Amino acid sequence: MRSKDRIAYFYDGDVGSVYFGAKHPMKPHRLCMTHHLVLSYDLHKKMEIYRPHKAYPVELAQFHSADYVEFLNRITPDTQHLFLNELTKYNLGEDCPVFDNLFEFCQIYAGGTIDAARRLNNQLCDIAINWAGGLHHAKKCEASGFCYINDLVLGILELLKYHARVLYIDIDVHHGDGVEEAFYFTDRVMTVSFHKYGDSFFPGTGDAKEIGEREGKFYAINVPLKDGIDDSSFTRLFKTIISKVVETYQPGAIVLQCGADSLAGDRLGCFNLSIDGHAECVSFVKRFNLPLLVTGGGGYTKENVARCWTVETGVLLDTELPNEIPQNDYIKYFAPEFSLKVPNGPIENLNSKSYLSTIKMQVLENLRCIQHAPSVQMQEVPPDFYIPEFDEDEQNPDERIDQHTQDKHIQRDDEYYDGDNDNDQMNIS
């Protein structure tokens, strides 16, 4: 057992200032609310806080097609009418609108997940958190489901440089289709998604029969659920499946997508999990004591998203939080009760015991088809991506200074490593 987990937490306030549109359910403002709640509970004093680098186009193109990345970089609300064919080709529109600072938004949230993976790879932390990440629907050549760049795939690709096997776990109410698709033909990543399936629920994939193909056969696990699943049903199934997955697959690192749209009362969700039930999954995964990268994901009742991810930050820090929310810049959003925990609702659980038992047996049977953890002939570890150098004197000294001064920066002297490729030691105080 490790004496004390070292936690790295990635945040850039600019990620919460973008606006998808008045009627769009995705509100990145929830990230500012989460961060200020984390600060109000003094959790930042127990972690190292980093501003992520903005991922370069060459980094994003490690998964995405270069033409798609270039288009995201070029398109603006003012010019989109000139590119109607490309908008259709890349699936940009109602669900995935073009808005001001779209590409910078993608660079920041993807940079956070890439940086998190690199710190884990270099053993500079045990757990890395990027609540801005977790955009699991984005595909190689197109946007999907409010997601433009798939930061999770990019983070997993980083982890694969140092780990023979990476386990991806997804507790968003929607199927983690983009991540599953990216690794569907390999045994080096096992994807496990717990999600609502059926009734034409987005994205329409994630049947238990989807198990991977070729070398990846049996390395994609889907747990399709019906409306109203509650804490006891969900956590029992989660613990049974994940414990068997870890025992069988023996991953070197875990990526956990904590989409909060699986909570009761979510604007787009249909599950009935309390924050405690959701957080119990995080706590369970933490107990494996493996390098752990934790991201956000969906979540469309933003005050509950902030509550959930703050509680889960506490869980990762082994810190129990008082239920009364402390004073913070967003306190009015938590009225009238100003409490941290949100109970589940009165929704009927349509997941019968026999249905859940059938799903569980199907998953465990597929796991038995894996004789043992696959062996990987490890090559020399490739270097981190080449990052172009820039002259700090040429940078605008006024650029984003307000956010820099607002951010808090905690560092411990023993957390850094020597070398030219230490991009992590960034003074943002």
* Terminal CA-CA length for the chain: 33
Alpha helices in 194-318 (DSSP H): 231-249, 275-286, 302-316
* Residue that the structure tokens 């989409």 belong to: 259
**What is the distance between the alpha carbons of residues 209 and 118, in angstroms, rounded to a whole number?**
34
Q: Which residues lie across from 339 on neighbouring strands?
A: 324
Choosing from 36, 53, 137, 163, which is the catalytic residue?
A: 137
**What is the distance between the alpha carbons of residues 307 and 317, in angstroms, rounded to a whole number?**
15
What are the DSSP E strand ranges found in 91-250? 127-130, 166-170, 189-196, 220-225
Residue 300 known to bind ligand: yes
Beta-carbon contacts of residue 98 (< 8 Å; ≥ 6 apart): 75, 76, 77, 80, 87, 92
Alpha helices in 122-230 (DSSP H): 151-159, 177-182
Residue 261 known to bind ligand: yes
Beta-carbon contacts of residue 203 (< 8 Å; ≥ 6 apart): 137, 144, 145, 174, 175, 177
Q: Output the CA–CA distances (angstroms, integers) from residue 337 to 35, 333, 342, in the order listed.
A: 20, 10, 10
Burial of 122 (0-12, 13-18, 19+ CB in 10 A): middle
Residue 174 known to bind ligand: yes
Q: Is 137 a catalytic residue?
A: yes
For residue 8, the surrounding DSSP H or E stretch is strand 7-10
Binding residues for substrate: 95, 145, 300
The residues that are catalytic are 137
Binding residues: 95, 145, 172, 174, 261, 300
